[in-house]
Structure 1
Amino acid sequence: MEYWDVYDVERIKTGRTMTRGDAFQPGDFHLVVHVCLFNSEGKMLIQKRQSAKVGWPDMWDISVGGSALKGDDSQGAASREVQEELGLTLDLNNVRPNLTINFENGFDDIYLLEKDVNLNQLKLCPVEVQDVDWASREEILEMMKKRIFIPYFPSFISLLFDMRQHMGAIRQLEKG
C-alpha cells in the first residue's frame, strides 16, 4: 500500500496523508516526479511500461516517473524512482527540477539530466518496466503518431528536448 503526503495549493505539506487510490478532497494535492535522462548524443532514455501496469500498459514513456511517497521530498522521490525502475543510482540532492507542471490533483516536478548510461547495465524493475531504449525527439513523436508512446502533447516532448541543457524558458543566444 502506498501512502502520500497531502499538500495544499501552495505546495505546503498539510501534515495529513492519503492512500493511493483514495479520492482527493477539495484543496488536496500530491507530488509526482519525472526524470528524463538524455545521453551526450541528445537522445532520451525511454521505457516501455509492463503489460500489467495500471494506466498506459505496454506503451513507451519518458525515462522515469512516479508519485512521491510519505516523507519524500522531490529530489528524494526522483532518486528513488530512478533506482526502483532502472536500478540506477543518482544523487539529486541540491538539484532543482527544470520544470514543474500543475495538474488537477497535484504538482509534477520534471528533472532533465544528461548521463550516458549503458542500457545493458540497467536493472529494470520487472513489475514496472519491460524494456528501455534511446530515442530522438523525432522518433518519440513518430511513436506517438503510431500510438505506442503515451500521448503527451507533442509540444511537451519538444520542450523537454529544448530545455534539456538549460534552466528557464529563455534560449541562450550564441555570441558573435
Structure 2
Amino acid sequence: MSIFNSKGEMLIQQRQPFKQGWSNLWDITCGGSAVAGDTSQQATSRELFEELGVNYNFEKIRPQFTINFERGFYDIYSIEYDSDLNELKLQTEEVQAAKWASKEKILELIELKKFIPYYESIIAFLFEARHHYGSIRL
C-alpha cells in the first residue's frame, strides 16, 4: 500500500536489519499478509496500523492494481493522507525508519540498491495513477 502526501511524495519505510528478506532496504509505505477470514481491505488496514500506527478504513476503497506472483498476489492500495512523521508509531519488529520521498528519490534508491528492487515502471505508475483508477489519462 502506498500513502502520498499533498505534495505528491510517498511515505516509505526502511525495514529492520534483522528482518528476513530485504533487510535494511527501503520499501513502499507498508505491506503484509492477510490472515484467514480477512478481506484485502481489512488486511491492508491492519498492516498499516501495525507497521506505522496509522488508523485508516479501507472498506470503501478498491485496490489501485493487483500484482500476481507464484504463491499469491499483492493488492496495491493508494491513498492521500498527510501524516506527521513524528506521530507515526513504527513497529520495532519490522520498521526502523519512515520518510517522505519523491518518485526521483525512490528510483535513485533502487539504483543504489537501497530500496527493494521493484520495476521502475511500478513506482512510476504508483505516482502517476495515485489520484485515479485505470490506465488511461483522461
Q: TM-score range by the shorter chain?
A: over 0.9
How many residue pairs match? The answer is 138
Which structure carries more strand by proportion? 1
Kindly name which structure, 1 or 2, has the bigger radius of gyration based on alpha carbons: 1
Which structure carries more helix by proportion? 2
Look up the match of 2:77: 111
Look up the match of 1:67: 33
Look up the match of 1:142: 108
Look up the match of 1:38: 4
**Partner amino acid, structure 2, of 1:72:** D
Look up the match of 1:85: 51
Query: TM-score, normalised on structure 1?
Result: 0.77
Partner Cα separation in structure 2 for residue 87 and residue 131 of structure 1? 13
Look up the match of 2:132: 166
Root mean square deviation of aligned Cα? 0.6
Structure 1: unaligned runs, 5 residues or longer: 1-34
Structure 2: unaligned runs, 5 residues or longer: none
Look up the match of 1:157: 123
Query: TM-score, normalised on structure 2?
Result: 0.98
Displacement after TM superposition at 1:104 (Å) = 1.0
Partner Cα separation in structure 2 for residue 169 and residue 64 of structure 1? 23
Runs of 4 or more consecutive aligned structure 1 residues displaced over 4 Å after TM superposition = none
